[in-house]
């Protein structure tokens, strides 16, 4: 009886070992994140929506010398449109709910891996002004620090899991022609089709129960002493300064346009903090002769409910308008006459035409 149980246990354990070995080989061959040595496929194909795990392979692909890095409010900036403004080969590496530290790590990888970087468009938003940016560095989606270094071998302990098997299965389906790869250059229209836009539903998302009346300026404007203002901390700006110091190509800073319902109420304490953060970003930009274009202001873009799906995500025509405005800002070095943006720092008369190859 004891011998029978012993044999059963050994056979069971042996079976599990065989299954794990087969799964490990399957993951190795499919290379679901593109971070392992390429055995079957010469190029990585994205078949998962978690950009944090998928972008490193695109960065290392040698296909792109220029990039957009930001959060989801920059995902609709089309690489083709940006190439018309800046030249080069663009990818859009904006991440859903991308925190400042995650964006910094992606920029760091881009600077280390791309041999001749050309243009980096940093699409800024409120996360860069968060006073806890150095403490809250990861979302519930997780962030694979092990994938952002130069040694693929230390990735192996993190690869044998159900998620990697699932994505490997999708990669096999894609290779066999039963599924398509996602965002080849990082770009994907994640908003609903434009012909499904519902203005009433969007308005409800924008304002909720408070209504536009909540945007009225405070009766007593918040005032702050210079000493108090100097004590405000924006830890992510240290990373921003490092990026501008290290990047060998051209860096452009653009603060993305949230709807006015998501902007601080004029005259409030939050508004004062936001403006101080922008002033410090502008100071960093001036030190590095980098343009800083601010779209996050009350404007014809941000005050029109019909331009937005929700407080942070604008529609496709607005994404096209933002790219055109960035080109205009760099070409003129001035605020937009129509009020779309403020030009807070940078060369006064730079050119927006593509630089020579």
Structural domains in the chain? 14-345 (3.40.50.1110)
Q: Mean pLDDT for each 10-residue chunk of the chain (357 residues)?
A: 69 79 89 90 86 94 96 97 96 96 98 96 97 94 94 91 92 89 89 95 89 68 85 96 96 97 90 95 97 97 97 97 97 95 81 43
Q: Residue 262 has what pLDDT?
A: 94
Q: Residue 3 has what pLDDT?
A: 59
Q: Residue 351 has what pLDDT?
A: 43
Q: Residue 218 has what pLDDT?
A: 62
Distance of CA 198 to the CA centre of its chain: 26
The DSSP element (H or E) to which 170 belongs, if any, is helix 162-175
> Residue 339: which residues within 8 A CB-CB, separation 6 or more?
297, 299, 300
Query: H-type helices in 188-315, by residue range?
Result: 199-207, 226-231, 236-246, 269-287
The DSSP element (H or E) to which 342 belongs, if any, is strand 342-345
Q: What is the pLDDT of residues 114-131, one digit of tens each?
A: 999 999 999 999 999 999
The DSSP element (H or E) to which 107 belongs, if any, is helix 100-113
Q: Residue 353 has what pLDDT?
A: 44
Stated pTM of the model: 0.89
């Amino acid at each position: 009886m004891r011998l029978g149980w012993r044999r059963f246990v050994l056979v069971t354990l042996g079976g599990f070992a065989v299954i794990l070995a087969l799964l490990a080989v399957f993951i190795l061959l499919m290379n679901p994140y593109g971070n392992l040595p390429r055995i079957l496929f010469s190029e990585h194909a994205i078949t998962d929506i978690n950009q944090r795990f998928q972008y490193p392979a695109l960065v290392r692909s040698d296909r792109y010398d220029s990039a957009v890095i930001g959060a989801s409010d920059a995902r609709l900036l089309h690489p083709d449109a940006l190439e018309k403004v800046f030249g080069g080969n663009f990818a859009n590496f904006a991440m859903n709910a991308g925190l400042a530290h995650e964006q910094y790590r992606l920029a760091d990888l881009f600077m280390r891996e791309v041999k001749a970087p050309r243009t980096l468009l940093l699409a800024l938003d409120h996360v860069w002004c968060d006073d806890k940016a150095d403490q809250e560095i990861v979302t519930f989606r997780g962030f694979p620090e092990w994938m952002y270094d130069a040694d693929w071998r230390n990735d192996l302990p993190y690869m044998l899991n159900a998620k990697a098997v699932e994505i490997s299965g999708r990669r096999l389906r894609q290779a066999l022609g039963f599924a398509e790869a996602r965002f080849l250059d990082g770009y994907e229209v994640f908003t609903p089709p434009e012909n499904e836009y519902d203005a009433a539903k969007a308005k409800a998302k924008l304002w909720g129960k408070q209504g536009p009346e909540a945007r009225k300026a405070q009766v007593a404007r918040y005032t702050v002493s210079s000493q108090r203002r100097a004590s405000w901390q924006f830890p992510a700006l240290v990373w921003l300064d490092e990026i501008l110091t290290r990047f060998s190509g051209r860096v452009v800073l653009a603060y993305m346009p949230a709807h006015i319902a998501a902007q601080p109420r004029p005259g409030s304490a939050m508004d004062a903090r936001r403006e101080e953060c922008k002033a410090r970003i502008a100071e960093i930009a001036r030190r590095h002769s980098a343009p800083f274009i601010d779209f996050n202001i009350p404007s014809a873009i941000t005050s029109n409910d019909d331009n937005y799906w929700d407080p942070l995500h604008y529609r496709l025509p607005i994404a096209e308008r933002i790219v055109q405005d960035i080109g205009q800002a760099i070409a003129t070095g001035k605020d937009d006459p129509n009020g779309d943006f403020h030009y807070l720092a940078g060369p006064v008369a730079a050119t927006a035409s593509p630089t020579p190859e």
